[in-house]
Structure 1
Amino acid sequence: MNKSQREWRKQQLLLEIQQQRQSLSECTQHWLDIIQAYDKGWQTLLAFKPYVAIGSGIALIYGICHPMKFYRWSRRMVSLLGLIRG
């Protein structure tokens, strides 16, 4: 392989790399557009994390103090979720 062939091959490879980078950039933007709604929903769920921790602690204490009431309320909640989904 002489010098001019190497230069030509190098230019071809650099052009291919540039095209791949451009394609990757376009695909990345497309991917971000698709997952934007899911990401926003996930961020909303994470915003409620402290409240869920406090609520689960209160529910645990209530469940220890009143196990039968807690059992009844948990059964009602499960059946209510079944009605909402179904």
Structure 2
Amino acid sequence: MNKNKRQSVAEKKQRLIKQIEQQRHQLSMASKEWLEVTEPYDRSWQIFVSFRPIFIAAAGLISIYTLKQPKRIFSLGKKALTTWGLVRSIQNAVNISKK
């Protein structure tokens, strides 16, 4: 290999190394941004996972209840939806009064 060829290969290598460094920096910035954006979802998921044993116990109790009284499963569903709607309404009312 002549000197000119080696020099062009070295320059190309330096350009590629610089490009890789830029890509790593961009990836790092995108990763930080992604973590910032998804932080509320991560917190919500952690809260949900912390209540997992309670959900499992509640599901067991509900299944026993519905086995004893299978016709009441629909009324239980209606009550659950009504309770959920009531909780959401109260949350919205509290959030509006805070603003």
> Considering the TM-score relative to the shorter chain, is it more than 0.5?
yes
Instruction: Indicate the percent of aligned positions where both proteins have the same amino acid.
Output: 28
Is 1:19 matched with 2:22? Answer: yes
Runs of 5+ in structure 2 lacking a partner? 90-99
The equivalent residue for 1:52 is: 55
Q: 1:71 aligns with which of 49, 57, 74?
A: 74
Q: In structure 1, give the amino acid aligned to 2:57.
A: I
Offset at residue 66 of structure 1 (A) = 2.0
> For the residues of structure 2 that align with 1:56 and 1:14, how far apart are their CA atoms?
56
- Farther off after superposition, 69-78 or 54-63: 69-78
- Farther off after superposition, 10-19 or 60-69: 60-69
Calculate the TM-score normalised by the size of structure 1: 0.84
Q: 1:61 aligns with which of 60, 64, 67?
A: 64
> For the residues of structure 2 that align with 1:80 and 1:44, how far apart are their CA atoms?
20
Aligned residues: 86
RMSD between superposed Cα atoms in Å: 2.0
> For the residues of structure 1 that align with 2:23 and 2:64, how far apart are their CA atoms?
57
Offset at residue 67 of structure 1 (A) = 2.4
Offset at residue 84 of structure 1 (A) = 5.6
Moved over 4 A (4+): 82-86
Offset at residue 85 of structure 1 (A) = 5.7
Q: Which has the higher contact order (CA 8 A, sep 6+)?
A: 1
